[in-house]
Chain A
């Protein structure tokens, strides 16, 4: 079955630096890959979606790449701010599964002033 691995260790960076989070998956590539942000005690909030035929997607300070050869997505936050501190989840949308999302375990990001 499909497995997703995100950095299990929390990521601590200094304000202003670029945060890079990794999402690796096994088996076949999804039709879509999505990134969400989750704050403690809250539901996930959608950030970006990238399709299997897209290499890169940007939105303001966020950038997502999708490499189907490496079976990997990278999520970048440039000029990071303390307000970016949260858990970031990657989710695969396997078209063959009827649109259910398969989530990774999330990576906790902490941005220090």
Chain B
């Protein structure tokens, strides 16, 4: 059991809407990374937060934004949703520095219509 939880499990939105996805990291973990996984593909790195500061970002537009809170939980916000944003969104937490083993949550399945 990894201890990383995500909510909601599934979500349906329409184009142009905004969405907020949530992640609770495993106890003792101070780093959270977010990934987008399209069907049949590997996860793609969106960004990472370490002790509440953004610590690296992948090739995603600014309408993908995030936050990390003092208890190390995190949010991923996506504005102006597009059809291609339909995917499984994964959160991963790790302990100590950013390069420790990452523990993934079950993901949030987002469908944009």
Contacts and interface: CB of A to CB of B under 8 A. Distances in A.
B58 A42 contact: no
A44 B106 contact: no
Interface residues of A, number: 26
Nearest to B55: A98
A44 B41 CA distance: 12
Interface of B: 2, 4, 33, 35, 40-45, 48, 55-56, 58, 90, 92, 97-99, 101-107, 109
Contacts, number: 65
A101 B102 contact: yes
Contacts of A31: 99
Contact of A43 (B55, B56, B99, B105): B105
B39 to A, nearest CB: 11
B43 A95 contact: no
A97 B104 contact: no
Interface stretch (A57-65, A66-74, A78-86, A102-110): A102-110
A91 B92 CA distance: 14
Nearest to B106: A43
B48 to A, nearest CB: 6
B102 A105 contact: no
A16 interface: no
Contacts of B40: 105
